Amino acid sequence: MSNKPLIVEIKNLSKSYRRGSQIITVLNGLSLDIDAGEFMALMGPSGSGKTTLLNLIAGIDKADSGSIRVGGIEITTLSETELARWRAHNVGFIFQFYNLIPVLSAYENVELPLLLSGLSKRERRAHVEVALRVVNLADRMEHYPGQLSGGQQQRVAIARAVVTDPAILVADEPTGDLDRQSAEEILELMEQLVHELGKTIIMVTHDPRAANKAHVIKHLDKGVLNAHPQTHF
Amino acid sequence: MHILKLIFKNSFRHKLRTFLTVLGVAIAILAFGLLRTVIDAWYAGVAASSASRLVARNAVSLVFPLPLSYKEKIRQIEGVKGVSYGTWFGGIYIDEKNFFANYAMEPKTYLAMFPEIITPPEQMAAFLRDRKGAVAGRKLVERFGWKIGDIITLKGTIFPGNWDFVLRGIYRGRDNTVDETAFFFHWHYLNEALKKAGRSWIDQVGWYLIEIKDPHIAADVSLRIDRTFKNSLAETLTETEKAFQLSFISMSEAIVVAIQLVSFVIIFIIMAVVANTMAMTARERIGEYAIFKTLGFSGMHISGLIFGESMCITMLGAALGIIFTFPAAGIFGKELSQFFPIFNVDRETIYMDIVAALIVASVAALFPAWRAVHIRIADGLRRIG
């Protein structure tokens, strides 16, 4: 057993979707603990519930039953508004397709989450510059997403994810749209975030090479986690 | 980066669509403004009416005259400050399409009751000296290229024959609410000609114009005048100048209502066009709105983005529409000056344009905003990729 504090504690989590008259159970009584500062990969076949689990941990979907405590806060009981506020301060998101706003420059995309923080313009600039330096894109801050490569866009997305200094980063197939070299760079960057900044990363991936970068790999199949996670250090 | 900047940038993401929507709004606001100006032009005479002037006409109808002998009796009624009179002449200048209002009136007193009509003193004196003299409005003179001293021949319709007048004066309005297309001449010239020809309407007038001492006693004075001529051969109907003008408009009220209806239909149509643009925009950006929500932006923020974009596009179109309303109204007013002597874009019309644009922008954004706010983040994210 690890002696690190738990940052995510999930107990008896269930989630199902309605498709027409059919109810599809995605997660059924799932329990999971994640240590602070852990880099965890979630693997499994399509439809196994990986993204659903990630969304529930990140507070962008609602569970049918069960408990999710993140950083000591029971997020299943929070209202939509409270969840929005909680996400803004506690979770950073990295998506497969980067999801940058195309009409905003790299700088402005990274600045977006800070608009809710109440920081002054000067303070925001300082934070954004640091975040872009971390992802090694300080020289591209005035570029628009359309002027950047896929790898660079994903790095901007990572800068946006870390700019508010959240404890947890959730990444849904962060290398799924990248070539091998760019994917490698992104994974190294994520490792760096864990080792140097102490972030906890939960990453959904299909790619075993990406998963091998994680400290812990969990396999999810038909809503059930495998009993013996493969661990790499 | 400011949210306003994002709204502005979002507004121009689909340049062609935004351009067409802005153009549509601009044309709609222009059409709306012009139609409202037409309605205002219809009521221009009412707006320019003075509260201290009354009009007494034959109680049966305006087409029946009143005896000239009523003048002194009216003058003696309590509250009356001055009396004058006029008759609708209805003459045609060269061709019927050259229509303009022309009146025979008591030269010394009639125009004196209209301080808003300004004639240079030397021209007024020349007009008073010449029994065949006439005074015409500046716009009318410009329309036909007349000069002082020109002989103007009107073909009588109510009073047959060709009537020659010498242009002795050109009046201007004190402000842009005054009709500058009317033509006035001596009632005595008409009366003497009728006497010579032995026609009807001798020593008869179309209406009396009565100046009262205090606008607040208008109703009492009107009653006193009408009571004076009760049971006479020509009973009077006395009303304020405003009511007199409104009685003319009521004859064409159906047209005014139709124009009003069309003006609102235009706004309704453009509302549908902007709503369509916003619905397309919101549908395309539903994934982006999900990203915003993921980052912690609330429903209010998302609504603000959509309403802001709708406002930006609509108000830009409205601003262009308002700007172009002025030159368009100028051309319109010039071309239709015989029908609408006063054709000014009123400040209220601009306010109505702005209010209409605000309503269009708000209503158009309503459904897309509701949809964007209520979509689940997970569903929104699924639309990306």
Query: Which ipTM did the prediction report?
Result: 0.88
- Given an 8 Å threshold on Cβ–Cβ distance, is B1 in contact with A81? no
Count Cβ atoms below 10 Å from residue B181 Cβ, excluding itself.
Answer: 21
Query: What percent of chain B has pLDDT above 90?
Result: 77
| Residues B174-225 pLDDT 10s | 988 888 999 999 999 999 999 998 888 899 999 999 999 998 999 999 999 9
Residue A20 lies in a domain: no
Instruction: For residue B49, give every residue at least 6 positions away whose Cβ sits within 8 Å of its Cβ, in sequence order, or none.
Output: B240, B241, B242, B244, B245
**Residue A5 gets which letter from DSSP?**
P
Token look-up 């946006």 returns A160
The predicted pLDDT at position A233 comes to: 43
Identify all chain B residues contacting A112, using CB atoms and an 8 Å cutoff.
Answer: 1, 292, 295
Token look-up 């209209």 returns B114
The predicted pLDDT at position A227 comes to: 46
Instruction: Note down the domain range covering A56.
Output: 35-62+87-231
Identify all chain A residues contacting B9, using CB atoms and an 8 Å cutoff.
Answer: 103-104
Token look-up 């001596």 returns B186
Q: Residues of chain B whose C-beta is under 8 A from some C-beta in A? A: 1, 3, 6, 9-10, 13, 287-288, 291-299, 376-378, 381, 384-385
| Gap from B257 CA to chain A (nearest CA, Å) | 47
- Given an 8 Å threshold on Cβ–Cβ distance, is A113 in contact with B295? yes
Cα separation of A205 and A174, whole Å? Answer: 8
Which of A60, A103, A104 is the closest to B378 by Cβ?
A60
The predicted pLDDT at position B177 comes to: 83
Instruction: For residue B159, give every residue at least 6 positions away whose Cβ sits within 8 Å of its Cβ, in sequence order, or none.
Output: B89, B90, B91, B190, B193, B194, B199, B201
Identify all chain B residues contacting A103, using CB atoms and an 8 Å cutoff.
Answer: 6, 9-10, 13
Cα separation of B1 and B350, whole Å? Answer: 33
Residue A183 lies in a domain: yes
| Gap from B292 CA to chain A (nearest CA, Å) | 8
Per the structure, how many domains does chain A have?
1
Q: What are phi and psi of B280, to 5 degrees?
A: -65, -45
Of the candidates B103, B378, B264, the one whose C-alpha atom is nearest the C-alpha of residue A170 is B378
Cα separation of B46 and B249, whole Å? Answer: 9
The predicted pLDDT at position A2 comes to: 59
Identify all chain A residues contacting B385, using CB atoms and an 8 Å cutoff.
Answer: 96-97
Count Cβ atoms below 10 Å from residue B205 Cβ, excluding itself.
Answer: 26
State the DSSP H helix or E strand holding residue B95, giving kind and residue range, or none if neither: none
Size of interface A-B (CB pairs under 8 A): 64
Residues of chain B short of pLDDT 70, as ranges, are 1, 383-385
Residue A218 lies in a domain: yes
Cα separation of B36 and B259, whole Å? Answer: 8
Task: Let me know: does B137 contact B181? Beta carbons within 8 Å.
Answer: yes
Write the CA distances from B125 to B110, B121, B174, B326, integer angstroms: 14, 6, 19, 37
Give me the helix-helix angle, B299-335 and B15-42, nearest 10°.
50
**CATH code assigned at A158:** 3.40.50.300
Nearest chain A residue to B377 by CA: give it. A60
Cα separation of B178 and B157, whole Å? Answer: 26
| Residues B36-63 pLDDT 10s | 999 988 887 777 778 889 999 999 988 8
Nearest chain A residue to B13 by CA: give it. A103
Residues of chain A short of pLDDT 70, as ranges, are 1-3, 227-233
The predicted pLDDT at position A229 comes to: 47
Which of A85, A97, A102 is the closest to B384 by Cβ?
A97
Residue A68 lies in a domain: no
Residue A178 lies in a domain: yes
State the DSSP H helix or E strand holding residue B183, giving kind and residue range, or none if neither: strand B183-186
- Given an 8 Å threshold on Cβ–Cβ distance, is A55 in contact with B3? no
- Given an 8 Å threshold on Cβ–Cβ distance, is A60 in contact with B294? yes
Residue A163 lies in a domain: yes
